[in-house]
Amino acid sequence: MSTTTAASISDAYDVLASLYGLIALTCVVQVYRIARRTPKHVGFFTTQQVFHLANLFTSTARACAFFGRSAIEKTHTINAIVNDGPGLVFLSTYAGLVLFWSDIYHAARGEAARTRRARTTFYAVNVVAYATELGIWSLMAFGKEKWRGDALERASSGTLAFASASVALAFAFYGSKLYVMLREFPEGLTTRAKKIREIGSVTAVCVTAFAVRCVVLFLATGGEAKYAVDVYASKTMNVAYYVAVEILPSALVLYVLRKLPPKRARAASFADEDGDASARAEEADTLRHPLVVDSDDDESDDEDADAMGS
């Protein structure tokens, strides 16, 4: 490889690291802004904060991997953990968002049993994926034969491909269900169109990103070098890969989630003055919901909520 080519690749990875760093910084700002906005009775972290914190971990890990690639690539096992570990957390992060959507959908339909089944499926898929990857990493650490290392890398790609397909299908299923449910609400609701756009855009972006991720990872299981997903192998493909399946989806979803929860301090005062604990619980639950809250500038939110509940 020529010096010029190596320099251009290095510059490309530095740009990727910077983009991941920008996403991480955005997540930090959002967590801080939500913490300042939400009252203490909401709890330690809201659902939206947990989502941002998980994104923060993934983006920070990716940024460090790209900046420190020369040191990481020297150890095969560490290289695998640094490459695949954040990807697995990224999948869990967005699977958690789908789980939240399933809670909203089944709760609206009074299907408590289906909510429990969705949660069981979520935890089962995550446990299997993490256990499989931990086993693969352990075998990589103790295996010395090259063929074994190649086989384990393909097995890791297959595990992530399966997880990616599961998340893509879950987004398609619950995103479409929520989209249809929202369209059934009265057309006069001010926030109806906004919620439809949010759910529709996030569903389209995430289904596309995780489907592409699944296809690329599946091709990588075939052992073809040109399809390898490794930040130190197929350079051009990996730049396009990480932009398409992580950076762009994260940026678009963070844009959709840019609004803060509404200022609703009155719920706490109601609970204090009237002794109505249910008001506090209901208010806390409202503030926990990502993709279903708006900024306090929209004065029609309360009227819309009443109309939806009627």
Mean pLDDT of the chain: 76
Show the tokens assigned to 291.
């993709």
209-223, 247-261, 290-304: which range is least confident on average?
A: 290-304
Closest to 33 (Cα-Cα) out of 282, 258, 253, 267? 258
Residue 290: partners with Cβ closer than 8 Å, 6 or more residues away: 46, 47, 48, 51, 97, 100, 257
pLDDT (0 to 100) of residue 142? 77
DSSP string, 153-212: HHHHHHHHHHHHHHHHHHHHHHHHHHHHHHHTS-TT-TTHHHHHHHHHHHHHHHHHHHHH
Residues whose CB falls within 8 Å of the CB of residue 92, separated by 6 or more in sequence, listed in order: 54, 126, 129
Domain region containing 276: 3-309
- In sequence order, the 6+-apart residues with CB closer than 8 A to the CB of 54 are 89, 92, 93, 96
Closest CA to 125 of 169, 167, 174: 167
* Tokens representing residue 89 in the block: 């957390």
Count of CB atoms within 10 A of residue 14's CB? 13
CA-based radius of gyration for the chain: 22
pLDDT for 209: 93
Q: Which of 30-44, 111-125, 150-164 is the least confident region?
A: 30-44
Which pTM value belongs to this model? 0.77
Give CA–CA dist 59/57, Å, rounded. 6
Say how many domains are in the chain: 1
Task: Give Cβ neighbours of residue 167 (< 8 Å, ≥ 6 apart).
Answer: 91, 94, 95, 98, 206, 210
Q: What is the distance between the alpha carbons of residues 245 and 249, in angstroms, rounded to a whole number?
A: 6
**What tens digit of pLDDT does each residue of 231-244 get?**
555 677 778 889 99
Share of the chain above pLDDT 70, in %: 70
What is the reported pLDDT for 262?
61
Mean pLDDT of 39-59: 79
| CATH number of the domain encompassing residue 81 | 1.20.1070
Helix axes 3-37, 248-256, angle to 10 degrees: 20
Q: Which of 3-7, 76-80, 106-110, 173-177 has the lowest mean pLDDT?
A: 3-7
Q: What mean pLDDT comes out for the span 272-284?
A: 42
Say whether pLDDT at 290 is over 50: no
On the question of pLDDT at 153 being above 90, the answer is no
Which long-range contacts does 229-232 make (Cβ < 8 Å, 24+ apart)? 229/83, 229/157, 230/79, 230/83, 231/13, 231/65, 231/66, 231/69, 231/83, 232/69, 232/73, 232/79
Tally of CB atoms within 10 A around 274: 9
Residues 163-188 pLDDT 10s:
999 999 999 999 999 888 888 876 66
